[in-house]
Amino acid sequence: MNCILCEGPTKKFWKSKNREFVECSNCGGIQLLPKFYVSKIAEEARYLTHNNDVEDSRYQDFVNPITSRVLKDFSTKHKGLDYGCGTGPVATTELEKEGYTVALYDPYFHPNTEVLKAKYDFIICCEVMEHFYEPKREFSELAALLHLGGKLYCKTSIYSAEINFDHWYYKNDATHVFFYTAKSLEWIKDNLGFSALEIHPKVIVFGK
């Protein structure tokens, strides 16, 4: 099959009894074969187990790499979108405490597609992009939702050759279908409507 991000050719990468991943020869992304995707019911049930309490200091610390960048890059006059916010929009709650206005969207828990008809100065995408079944389309749509000069803040675990995939905890989540490499992120920047990219250990920033 071809890569679901860049449409490049893929090759065998890793296989277990229950799952199989292939590697893109073009962008280096690692993707789960579609026959191993979980059902929508199972996916929603998995997300419900996350139970992100917006008052939990651990979750607040977890999203801090994103929220601190928003506070640095934008003022309260700028509008944001928390895309894939889940059951507990922790990043949004932290920003609202500082006076920011952030719309919520999640296909399961905040399925208000009206918010996807507006444009935003910043978009938060925290632990979401690894769930994209169609990352090419979704990143293109996210870029289109940004004003010129806007920024997309992402958080995910990036795969690199130094990682022992056998022992990598991140692959064990059945709802994770695509793992990005630095090369994958560069491909997104170059091809899907962005003009800048910053890759940091705990936050990825795409600029438009």
Q: What is the pLDDT of residues 171-181, one digit of tens each?
A: 999 999 999 99
Query: Region 162-175: what's the mean pLDDT?
Result: 96
pLDDT tens digits, 24-82: 999 999 999 999 999 999 888 888 776 566 667 787 899 999 999 999 999 999 999 99
Domain count within the chain? 1
| 32 domain residue, yes or no | yes
**pTM for this entry:** 0.95
- Domain boundaries, position 128: 10-207
| 200 domain residue, yes or no | yes
Beta bridge partners of 205: 153, 198
What CATH number is given to the structural domain containing 183? 3.40.50.150
How sure is the predictor about 162, in pLDDT bands with cuts at 50, 70 and 90?
very high
| 70 domain residue, yes or no | yes
**What's the confidence (pLDDT) of residue 91?**
95
Q: Mean pLDDT, the chain, as a whole number?
A: 95
H or E element that contains 66: helix 57-73
pLDDT above 70 (res 143):
yes
Query: For the residues of 97-143, what is the DSSP string, one character each?
Result: HTT-EEEEEBTTTB--GGGGGS-EEEEEEET-GGG-SSHHHHHHHHH
| 5 domain residue, yes or no | no
**What's the confidence (pLDDT) of residue 169?**
96
| 35 domain residue, yes or no | yes
| 84 domain residue, yes or no | yes
Residue 97, class by beta-carbon neighbours within 10 Å (0-12 exposed, 13-18 middle, 19+ buried)? Answer: exposed
